Amino acid sequence: MSRTLAFFGAFNPPTRAHIDLAEITLQATEARDVLFVPSKSTYITFDQNKSFAFSDQDRIDMLRQIAQNRSWMRYTDIEMRQKEQPKTYKTLCMLRDLGEEPSLLLGADKLQELEHLWKNIPEIAEEFGIVCMDRGEINCEEVIRNSPFLTSLHMTVIHVPPVYKDFSSTLVRDSLTQLYSLQQTLQYLLPPELKNLPADLLLRKTDQTL
């Protein structure tokens, strides 16, 4: 059975960086596909202290829509169905019990957290393996080389394009908040008959410039 890259995260919402870099990493490995494993919305809100979280169903629906035309991409609600947010090692074990052969896929920004903030990292590295996406923000090889803990782990570093380094779900959420605020302001300033006028004018102007 060929391995699956298990990509854990909030995906709140999933961005182009999540999707494109996962595919690039997949192509650089011998894995079969990428399995997106979104965390529980309650964990995002109360443990990660995000400003807001899309519901579990909304994020699954987003991943489902994105995966429709991507044969290499799968998703699972296995963590969402748990009473409490499980640790990554437990989820990997649950996936293995379901017949998967997962390896942990993570970003380079998580490297320096592994020793002190994550649980069961030696077990994850030994039993499943770790694939790290290096977008150029840090020198992954140097970080690993300077850490006896990381050096001891079974880990593969994949270099991916730095073009998406400024992409983030936080930026998407902030933009959506600003858009909602703008819509509310326009509804307050304009008479009801003109509530759709700005969008209509923008589309008309865009058509004229094509």
Distances (CA, A) of 25 to 18, 22, 158, 199: 11, 5, 6, 39
Structural domain count of the chain: 2
Residues 50-107: pLDDT tens digits? 878 889 999 999 999 999 999 999 999 999 999 999 999 999 999 999 999 999 999 9
**At 88, which CATH number?**
3.40.50.620
What is the span of the domain harbouring residue 53?
4-164
**Domain identity same for 9 and 46:** yes
Alpha carbon 159 to chain centroid distance?
A: 17
When pLDDT is cut at 50, 70 and 90, the band that residue 44 belongs to is: very high
Q: Is 3 exposed, middle or buried (0-12, 13-18, 19+ CB in 10 A)?
A: middle
Contact between 195 and 184 under an 8 Å Cβ cutoff? The reply is no
**Domain identity same for 106 and 191:** no
Residues 154-197: pLDDT tens digits? 899 999 987 666 666 566 666 666 666 666 666 666 566 556 65
Q: Which of the listed residues 164, 182, 197 is the one where a domain comes to its end?
A: 164
Q: Give the three-state DSSP class for 172.
A: helix
**Domain identity same for 100 and 176:** no
Contact between 107 and 131 under an 8 Å Cβ cutoff? The reply is no
Rounded to two decimals, the pTM is 0.80
